[in-house]
Amino acid sequence: MSEEIMAAEDHESLEEHMQLQRVFRILTIDVPDKRLARKLQVVEAKLAELYHASLSDSVVDAKTRDRHHREGKRLEECKAAYLAERHKLHAGGQDDRLATHRISKDVLAEVLERLGMPVSAAEVEDMVWEVNDGLDGAVSWDEYKRSFLRCKHDKTYLEPTLLFHITCFVMYDRDCSGKYVEALERRRIDQIDQLGVWGKLGAAKRHAKAAATLSTPVKPPV
């Protein structure tokens, strides 16, 4: 790796740093949280079915009642585990989450599929391995940021780029819907709103209208 790339690795603009943190949050909190919410929904639906079945336990045999009881206990344990995992996702401050959270292979596979770029499990494994200096099977914040900056400043075209491309897409397509053009337009409007340009344009139009009204000559009465 050249000295130029190594020097650039530790430097990014404030806007870029904030964008990287936001995408990292999407990949380590928002997407996993939605996955857990879907699992909870399935578990709660099954618990509701068991509850309704228990209302008619008087007409079923003891073996069936015992099976329902064991299944209900298992589902309650699953529910408790999912709720604990969701709580853990959101626990601590931002710095704590950056230090402890990791981008998992399952999340990357899901995001790629939602972006319209489904890949095999082996390809996801390779993508993580290419940037996972800690060799723990998931991508930390430091690994993620270094990988992005290496790709950004790479002039050799030898750096692995799939995670970099995912990041660039998700910077605009916050819902990971794959509708990049629509996401880009929403992002453009958001940036305009943040700059207050719409408000300034509205005020300018009001001032222009008021000035035009004042400058209109008043016809003297006949």
Domain boundaries, the chain: 14-172, 179-212
Q: In this structure, are residues 139 and 163 in contact, taking their beta carbons and an 8 Å threshold?
A: yes
CATH topology classification for 14-172: Recoverin; domain 1 (1.10.238)
Residue 197: per-residue pLDDT:
43
- List, in sequence order, every residue forming a beta bridge with 178; answer none if it has no partner: none
Distance CA 172, CA 166 (A): 10
**Does the pLDDT value for residue 214 go beyond 80?**
no
Tokens coding 110: 């899901």
Contacts of 130 (CB under 8 A, 6+ apart): 147, 160, 163
Q: Kindly state the average pLDDT of the residues 24-53.
A: 93
Q: How many residues does this entry show for the chain?
A: 222
Q: In this structure, are residues 127 and 160 in contact, taking their beta carbons and an 8 Å threshold?
A: yes
Residue pLDDT, tens place only, 171-207: 876 565 555 445 445 555 454 454 444 444 445 445 5
Q: Kindly state the average pLDDT of the residues 107-130.
A: 91
Q: Kindly state the average pLDDT of the residues 102-128.
A: 91
Q: In this structure, are residues 183 and 175 in contact, taking their beta carbons and an 8 Å threshold?
A: yes
Q: In this structure, are residues 119 and 165 in contact, taking their beta carbons and an 8 Å threshold?
A: no
Residue 8: per-residue pLDDT:
45
- Tell me the CB-side half-sphere exposure of residue 67, using CA atoms within 13 A: 7
Q: Kindly state the average pLDDT of the residues 44-69.
A: 80
Q: Kindly state the average pLDDT of the residues 132-136.
A: 91
